Every structure is written in structure tokens, then in C-alpha cells.
């Protein structure tokens, strides 16, 4: 039974999607103003694990992850370079996607950009103005928190006092607000200021929170299953998303909320502003593999903090290598003896590992326990392998378990692609030419290359025949 911690209720809950067999989920994506650091990627790798596990369990998925391509930092940096915000964000969007892919993450079904959804944001703000959940002050539009008594239900913050400050990202607008807690939905800009969009309530640009309400509801409907993001987004961002969306529709926005804990370094949160960060590229340049970085990021369950160390990363590097070697060994060790294999237990070992893996993932996505199940299987099968080869059936059972684990975690790396028949025949043809030219070095080289890929050549009087090992 799938259970996980819902921030909204502060409880572990059984997961029941709104629609049988289908899951609609939204994960707050990156702000594309710079290179994402590996702390950001811890949150996105968790999003990927969540996605893959739901698919593994057979759910049909609509997964949305936005790209925030407008905020004050972006506007300031683009202005400083005298380029448009599109020109400024394009390369960072590209870098983000390259790193995201290289880390083995599957692309969400929808990756909408904030600046492409301004009309949707304007529509929600208009509704909020019409039903008194928003008001105008000095040309900007603010959310009226007093109109939403449930405000605070996600973060459980007591709002009886004055709550400005206390968070790096809390809205500290300089304009007149009815209440210090109110936040900007739309910020007035001058007639010639860029970026700016015309709206019935005046030319302006959106506040930060409204984009996620607009994009989530556009692609997932007014109520959907899961909303996730990093711990720091719980307040004010997610609290404000709820206020905006539920204030506009009168319906529950998201049923389950999941928040990832931070990646730390020397026990301090990794962040751009503190300067204590590594990007994915920094680590790749130092020679660490994408697979090891992914392994490290997912090795600790998402609701626990993870402290980054280079020893930990080196450890992850040797672990992923061991896993890869194990898969190779199982492939090669299968059916070698032609016997019945090492005995009854290997199939059972694989089955037990799958059971433990699923129970761990069902228990609030406990990736650490899921990895322990995999490592125990590796150890036990290695012991069995040291005694004899595996039977074909045993080999298939272990390979099947590996491919199940990997469809969720993505830590074994891509399988070596089998050579296509056409490529094999091209190489054989080239080898024949080399032999005719008495270039035996090349001809031997080709034979060895094919042998490495498991292709055996047989010279017959009718020409060369080949078969796969
Ligand atoms: P940003 O690009 O700043 O909007 O952040 C993208 C995502 O990364 C958000 O979900 C943040 O909560 C998350 N995040 C930021 N810093 C960290 C960190 N040190 N560890 C884990 N997640 C983080
Ligand atoms: Zn968001």
C-alpha cells in the first residue's frame, strides 16, 4: 500500500488518486536565471523518482514542471546586460535541461514557461478581484488574506503576529497593503517599462506565486493529486498558491503535498546566495559521473536532510560501478554451466528483493531501504555465483529484478546497446576488404571488436557466417 507524508495533514496517508489509475501532479521547477546547483537537483531527482515509481505502479501520469522565466533577479540581470528576458533565460533553460537529462531524469509531460501563461494569470487575478479576494493599491494588485480564513493551513504558521520577514523570499513590497501578510499578484510597471503586459487592471507583471496556480490549473484542472517542491517553498510560495487557487475556484487545489528536505554542505543549506554550492557541471568537470551524482542525491529519503561530502560522492562512484559490474556479471554468468544453476534460492533472492524494494518505496519513498534491498540481493547472488554459473531462468530472474529497480531509480546506467545486424554486416564486409588488401591488422581488429560485442565469426567456403554468443 502506497503511503507517504502529506504536508497538508502532517500525516502519513494512503495514496488514493482522484481518478482511478491516473495521477496528476505538479512540481515547482527551476528559476532559469543561472546554473542549477546540485541542491536544486536533489529536489528534481526526487520528483523523477516520484514520477517513475507512480509509473512503475501502473498509474497513467500527467506531470507538470514549470520553468520560472520571470522574477526580479531575471529582470535585473537582463537589464544589466541590455537584453530581453527571453534572451537572458534561453541559455540557462538549455543548461538546465541538459543537466536534468544527463542526471537521468525523465522529462515531465508538460514543462510550461511562466511568460507563456500571462493570460491565464490575468484571468485568475480578475476572478480574485471580482470576488473580493484581491484589491488594488497604488496600481498593483494584492491578495487579501483576510478573505481566506484557511490561510496558513499548509505551513501551520501562526499568523497572529506580524509575519513580514523571516524568509528570504517573503514579499516585502514597498506599496501600501491592507495587511502586512498580503502579497502581490500583479505589480504595476510604467508604460514603457519592460517586461510588462497589458491587463484589464493595468499594465504590469505578475507576482511570483500566481504563475504556479495558473499553470497547475491549466494543465491539471482545478483540483489535482500531488503538488511537490523543496521545503523552502512551503511558505510563502505554496501557502500563497493555495490561497490564490482556492480563493478563485472555491475548490481544493491539491490533495497531497510533498516537500523535499535540503541538501546541505558542512551542515549549511546549499544555496546560490550563500555561495556554498556545486553545480552538476562543477562535479562533472572534477571527473565524477552523472550516475554517481544521481545515486548520492537519491540515497537519502527525501524528507531527511542530506549532507554533501566528496567522500560520499566517491563512495557513490564505487557503488554505481559495483552495480554495473554486477549486472554484467549476471549477464555473462547466466547459463554458462549449462547446468540447473546454483540452486533453488536465486529466484527467491530476486523475488524477496523486489518485495522489499516495493515495501520501502511504498513507505514514504524510503530510497535508503530500497537501496539496501538491492545491495543485499547483489551480495547474495554474488555468493551464489562464486559457487557455480546461473541457469538461464535464474539469470532472467535477477536481470528482471534489476530492470524493475532501475526503471524507478535509474542508477545502473544504460545497458550496452546490442549491435544491429546491419552494423555487423558492414563490419564483416570491411573485414573482407581488409583481408583482400592483406591488411591483417585491421581484419583482426574487426574480429576482436565483434567478439567483444558477443558476435562470433565463422569462415566457411560459402563466405563468412556470424552468430550472437
Ligand atoms: P529555484 O530555482 O531557486 O526556484 O529552486 C528550485 C528548486 O530547488 C526548489 O524546489 C527549491 O526548493 C529547491 N532547492 C533549493 N535549494 C535546495 C537545496 N539546498 N536542497 C534541495 N532543494 C533545494
Ligand atoms: Zn511553484
Structural domains in the chain (count): 3
> What's the rounded mean pLDDT across residues 34-39?
97
Of ligand 1's atoms, which has the minimum distance to the CA of residue 277? 19
Burial 177-214 (b: 16+ CB within 10 A, else e): beebbbbbbbbbbeeeeebbbebebebbbbbbbbbbbb
Spell out which residues line ligand 1, taking CB within 6 angstroms: 28, 30-31, 39-40, 42-43, 68, 229-230, 232-233, 260, 262-263, 269-271
Do 374 and 348 share a domain, yes or no? yes
pLDDT, position 167? 42
Do 357 and 455 share a domain, yes or no? no
Do 121 and 242 share a domain, yes or no? yes
Q: Who contacts 461 (Cβ-Cβ below 8 Å, separation ≥6)?
A: none
Residue 416 lies in a domain: no
Please list the residues that pair with 229 across neighbouring strands. 259
Nearest bound ligand to the CA of residue 264: 1
Share of the chain above pLDDT 90, in %: 77
Backbone φ/ψ region at 467: left (φ over 0), alpha (ψ -120 to 50), beta: beta
123-137, 169-183, 207-221, 378-392: least confidently modelled range: 169-183
CA-nearest residue, atom 12 of ligand 1: 230
Residue 326 lies in a domain: yes
208 Cα–ligand 2 center, Å? 8
What residues have a C-beta under 5 A from ligand 2, the ion?
A: 28, 212
450 Cα–ligand 1 center, Å? 46
Higher pLDDT, 159 or 378: 378
Do 252 and 358 share a domain, yes or no? no
Tracing cell 550496452 back to the chain, one arrives at 416
> What's the rounded mean pLDDT across residues 124-143?
97
Query: What does the pLDDT look like over 154-176, one tens digit per residue?
Result: 999 877 655 554 443 445 555 57
Do 255 and 306 share a domain, yes or no? no
| Residue from 254, 219, 218, 223 nearest 237 by CA | 254
> What's the rounded mean pLDDT across residues 365-369?
98
Q: Which three cell numbers stand for residue 11?
A: 500525516
Q: Which three cell numbers stand for residue 306?
A: 542530506
268 Cα–ligand 1 center, Å? 14
Residue 415 lies in a domain: no
pLDDT score of 320 more than 50: yes
pLDDT, position 168? 38
413 Cα–ligand 2 center, Å? 31
pLDDT score of 379 more than 70: yes
Do 377 and 232 share a domain, yes or no? no
Share of the chain above pLDDT 70, in %: 93
Query: What does the pLDDT look like over 403-457, one tens digit per residue?
Result: 999 999 999 998 876 677 778 888 898 898 998 899 998 888 888 888 887 788 8
CA atoms within 13 A on the CB side of 179: 17
User: With contact defined as beta carbons under 8 Å apart, do 313 and 296 qualify?
Assistant: yes
CA-nearest residue, atom 15 of ligand 1: 40
Do 224 and 340 share a domain, yes or no? no
Q: Look up the domain containing 395 and give its range.
A: 280-409
Amino acid at each position: 500500500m502506497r503511503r507517504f507524508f502529506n504536508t497538508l495533514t502532517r500525516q502519513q496517508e494512503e495514496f488514493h488518486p482522484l481518478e482511478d489509475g491516473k495521477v496528476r501532479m505538479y512540481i515547482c521547477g527551476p528559476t532559469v536565471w543561472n546554473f542549477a546547483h546540485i541542491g536544486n537537483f536533489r529536489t528534481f531527482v526526487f520528483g523523477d523518482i516520484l514520477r517513475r515509481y507512480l509509473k512503475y505502479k501502473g498509474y497513467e501520469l500527467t506531470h507538470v514542471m514549470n520553468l520560472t522565466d520571470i522574477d526580479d533577479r531575471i529582470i535585473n540581470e537582463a537589464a544589466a546586460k541590455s537584453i530581453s528576458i527571453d534572451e537572458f533565460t534561453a541559455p540557462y533553460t538549455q543548461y538546465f535541461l541538459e543537466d536534468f537529462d544527463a542526471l537521468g531524469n525523465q522529462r515531465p509531460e508538460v514543462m510550461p514557461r511562466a511568460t507563456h501563461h500571462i493570460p491565464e494569470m490575468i484571468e485568475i487575478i480578475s476572478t480574485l478581484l471580482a470576488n473580493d479576494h484581491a484589491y488594488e493599491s497604488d496600481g498593483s494588485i494584492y491578495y487579501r488574506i483576510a478573505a481566506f480564513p484557511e490561510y496558513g493551513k499548509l505551513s501551520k504558521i501562526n499568523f497572529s503576529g506580524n509575519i513580514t520577514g523571516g524568509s528570504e523570499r517573503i514579499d516585502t513590497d514597498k506599496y501600501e497593503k491592507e495587511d502586512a501578510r498580503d502579497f502581490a499578484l500583479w505589480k504595476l510597471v510604467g508604460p514603457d517599462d519592460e517586461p510588462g503586459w497589458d491587463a484589464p487592471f493595468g499594465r504590469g507583471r505578475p507576482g511570483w506565486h500566481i504563475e504556479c496556480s495558473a499553470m497547475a490549473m491549466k494543465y491539471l484542472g482545478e483540483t489535482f493529486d500531488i503538488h511537490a517542491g523543496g521545503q523552502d517553498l512551503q511558505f510563502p510560495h505554496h501557502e500563497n498558491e493555495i490561497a490564490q487557487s482556492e480563493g478563485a475556484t472555491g475548490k481544493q487545489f491539491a490533495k497531497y503535498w510533498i516537500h523535499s528536505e535540503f541538501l546541505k554542505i558542512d551542515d549549511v543549506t546549499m544555496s546560490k546566495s550563500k555561495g556554498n554550492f556545486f553545480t552538476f557541471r562543477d562535479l562533472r568537470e572534477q571527473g565524477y559521473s552523472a550516475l554517481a551524482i544521481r545515486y548520492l542525491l537519491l540515497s537519502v529519503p527525501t524528507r531527511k536532510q542530506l549532507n554533501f561530502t566528496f567522500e560520499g560522492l566517491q563512495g557513490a562512484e564505487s557503488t554505481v560501478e559495483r552495480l554495473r559490474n554486477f549486472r554484467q556479471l549476471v549477464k555473462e554468468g547466466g547459463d554458462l554451466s549449462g547446468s540447473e544453476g546454483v540452486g533453488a534460492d536465486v529466484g527467491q533472492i530476486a523475488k524477496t528483493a523486489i518485495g522489499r524494494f516495493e515495501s520501502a518505496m511504498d513507505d514514504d519513498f524510503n530510497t535508503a531501504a530500497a537501496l539496501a534491498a538491492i545491495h543485499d540481493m547483489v551480495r547474495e547472488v554474488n555468493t551464489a555465483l562464486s559457487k557455480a554459473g546461473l541457469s538461464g531462468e535464474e539469470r532472467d530472474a535477477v536481470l528482471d529484478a534489476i530492470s524493475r529497480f532501475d526503471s524507478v531509480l535509474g542508477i545502473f546506467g544504460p545497458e550496452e546497446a546490442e549491435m544491429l545486424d546491419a552494423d555487423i554486416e558492414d563490419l564483416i564486409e570491411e573485414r573482407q576488404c581488409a583481408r583482400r588488401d592483406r591488411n591483417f591488422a585491421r581484419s583482426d581488429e574487426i574480429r576482436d571488436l565483434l567478439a567483444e560485442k558477443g558476435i562470433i565469426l565463422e569462415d566457411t567456403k560459402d563466405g563468412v557466417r556470424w552468430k550472437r554468443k
